[in-house]
Amino acid sequence: MALYRQIGGEFQILDTQIQGDRVGQTFDIDPAIAKKAIIEGASMLPEETAAQIITEEDWKQHDTAAKLARAKPDFQDKLRAARIAHHELRIKLSSPTPQEPVAAPSIDATITEQQKEI
């Protein structure tokens, strides 16, 4: 299990009891489930990433939609940075994993003994 923080709009993770309905809310969930949810659009970040951008104190000061709407530009900039981090994470998680390069067979290995005589 790992801690994740909601940094955007509402979401629900299917086949779980997890429903994100408040920006700043935290969830303790399995990383594999979180990965799938993020790829499918859940706007959350691992807590260690979110905490580098927005402090717990900032979240407490902006814990309702009304407070978010009236947030000062410095908090809006932090929230924007968190959403950019989410976007980058989503791209990273949804990209296919790089495969080990396959070595090309040597030319000698593809030429039969008969072809060598020609």
Q: Residue 106, SS3?
A: coil
For 49-87, how does the pLDDT look when each residue is reduced to its tens digit (9 = 90+)?
999 999 999 999 998 888 988 999 999 999 999 999 999
For 87-100, how does the pLDDT look when each residue is reduced to its tens digit (9 = 90+)?
999 999 988 766 55
Among 9, 93, 78, 2, residue whose Cα is nearest residue 43: 9
Total-model pTM: 0.75
Q: Where are the beta strands (DSSP E) in 15-81?
A: 19-20, 26-29, 44-46
